[in-house]
């Protein structure tokens, strides 16, 4: 265990050092220490609107005033708000279209711990009251009905200061669902990259009902014993690219979702055409990549490659339940390196809560799941399948996969309980798509110092 913790420390330090060299794209705007050059025509610095970076003074009004000032200018060549070096305490604030929020490498946005700084919102339409019966606190950084939004920096930091929220959550002292760190709704052309995200009260990055999304070069860190600190959760999103992220979490590193029971079915917005590359995940109690459990709108065409997981509960987890409906299909993974895993594959069709009035006869279609070129060391259980009687998974393919079991491993797992493919003399190679998704060719709107 000590050697593992040392390894984790070295990995985190290495990522942070590498991130120091990352450059991020304004127009000759000078901050206290440097010049930021980006592709936006109009620029402003947070201090121009009364911002004080002492880590104590609230900057909620300053952030809101800055965005309000830039909003009418953004339609003419775009606008950017520069967050200079300092510690900038703030509550929830909204972004605007054709806009870049840029954090200097020595800038830290600190989330306020005052509940009054986070207005309570109505439940998301694809989740209904059952998930958010008392409402949900607005996220720290929000945007709705936006186009062309960039949140980036030279590895600047956004710290959710989640400890007080976690404490209240465990003590059942909150009157609404914990805030997220970044949430973008009903939007398109969203890029979030080259940042360090810390200690979110709940999920870190939540694009929902959106398209053309890039999440790249994020370092996401949360205590591994805090629930619901998911790293990146595309939710009813299409054309999404997630690359080069390092995540330590108390929940799933990436969870792909699309709504809850009849609410998600009615919304009918699937998550599809998603590519995940070069992800590193540490999550002892959850999954590297989870599909569901809120998946009633459907999940389709998810591709993941070159993924590393260390001391993580499962590499790929499928979560659904009677009443979810929807589908999970056309899932492709390859080149996974897994070290110290409780499971490699985990499927649970009896997953937890439901919406009031849900139809328990609605089952989920899980089909065409393809996993290839995986190496797993120190595995406790290769696969766990908790499936409904009579519900059939079809087209499950695993090829060129090596698993080394944990010493003294014992199991009642019997491969003959599966319906195997007909035997032939050729090796089976699970498919992986050869075409490109449209989002793969979209360039980052980078900034340079």
Burial 327-351 (b: 16+ CB within 10 A, else e): bbbbbbbbbbbbbbbbbbbbbbbeb
> How far apart (Å, rounded) are the C-alpha atoms in residues 32 and 327?
52
Beta partners for residue 2, in sequence order: none
Here the tokens at position 372 are 């290839």
- Note if 251 is an active site residue: yes
Beta partners for residue 377, in sequence order: 339
Residues contacting residue 225 through CB under 8 Å, at least 6 positions apart = 250, 285
> How far apart (Å, rounded) are the C-alpha atoms in residues 252 and 447?
30
Give which of 278, 200, 267 is closest to 242, Cα–Cα.
Answer: 278
Give which of 330, 272, 263 is closest to 294, Cα–Cα.
Answer: 263
Q: What is the dihedral of CA 143, 147, 153, 158, to 10 degrees?
A: 10
Catalytic-role residue among 251, 311, 330, 373: 251
> How far apart (Å, rounded) are the C-alpha atoms in residues 185 and 233?
12
Pair 313, 285: CB distance under 8 Å: yes
Phi, psi of 427 (to 5 degrees): -70, 145
Pair 388, 350: CB distance under 8 Å: yes
Here the tokens at position 298 are 């459907």
CA 303 to chain centre: 15
Here the tokens at position 209 are 């009902």
> How far apart (Å, rounded) are the C-alpha atoms in residues 132 and 243?
31
Here the tokens at position 398 are 């695993």
Phi, psi of 228 (to 5 degrees): 70, 20
> How far apart (Å, rounded) are the C-alpha atoms in residues 207 and 230?
13
| Cβ atoms < 10 Å from Cβ of 397 | 15
Which residues are designated catalytic? 251
């Amino acid at each position: 265990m000590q050697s593992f913790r040392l390894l984790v420390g070295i990995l985190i330090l290495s990522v942070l050092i590498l991130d120091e060299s990352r450059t991020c794209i304004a127009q000759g705007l000078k901050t206290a220490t440097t010049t930021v050059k980006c592709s936006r025509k109009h620029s402003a610095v947070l201090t121009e609107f009364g911002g004080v970076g002492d880590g104590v003074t609230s900057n909620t009004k300053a952030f809101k005033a800055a965005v309000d000032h830039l909003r009418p200018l953004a339609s003419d060549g775009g606008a950017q708000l520069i967050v200079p070096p300092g510690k900038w305490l703030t509550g929830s604030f909204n972004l605007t279209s054709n806009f870049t929020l840029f954090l200097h490498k020595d800038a830290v946005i600190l989330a306020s711990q005052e509940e009054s700084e986070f207005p309570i919102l109505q439940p998301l339409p694809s989740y209904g009251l059952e998930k958010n019966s008392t409402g949900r606190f607005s996220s720290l950084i929000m945007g709705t009905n936006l186009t062309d939004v960039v949140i980036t920096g030279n590895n600047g930091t956004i710290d959710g200061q989640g400890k007080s929220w976690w404490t209240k959550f465990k003590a059942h002292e909150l009157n609404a669902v914990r805030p997220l760190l970044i949430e973008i709704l009903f939007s398109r052309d969203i890029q979030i990259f080259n940042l360090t995200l810390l200690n979110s009260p709940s999920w870190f990055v939540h694009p929902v009902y959106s398209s053309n999304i890039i999440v790249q070069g994020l370092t996401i860190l949360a205590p591994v014993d805090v629930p619901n600190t998911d790293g990146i959760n595309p939710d009813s999103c299409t054309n999404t690219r997630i690359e080069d992220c390092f995540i330590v979490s108390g929940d799933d590193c990436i969870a792909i979702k699309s709504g809850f029971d009849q609410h998600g079915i009615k919304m009918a917005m699937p998550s599809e055409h998603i590519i995940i590359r070069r992800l590193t995940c540490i999550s002892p109690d959850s999954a590297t990549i989870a599909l569901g459990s809120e998946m009633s709108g459907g999940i389709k065409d998810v591709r993941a490659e070159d993924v590393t997981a260390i001391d993580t509960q499962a590499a790929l987890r499928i979560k659904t339940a009677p009443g979810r409906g929807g589908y999970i299909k056309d899932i492709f993974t390859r080149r996974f390196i897994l070290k110290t895993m409780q499971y490699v594959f985990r499927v649970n069709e009896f997953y937890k809560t439901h919406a009031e009035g849900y139809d328990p006869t609605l089952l989920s279609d899980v089909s065409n799941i393809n996993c290839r070129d995986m190496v797993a060391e120190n595995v406790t259980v290769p696969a766990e399948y908790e499936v409904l009687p009579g519900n059939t998974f079809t087209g499950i393919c695993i090829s060129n996969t090596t698993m080394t079991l944990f010493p003294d491993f014992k199991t009642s797992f019997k491969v003959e309980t599966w319906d195997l493919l007909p035997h032939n003399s050729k090796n089976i190679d699970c498919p992986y798509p050869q075409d490109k998704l449209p989002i793969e060719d979209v360039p980052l709107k980078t900034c340079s110092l």
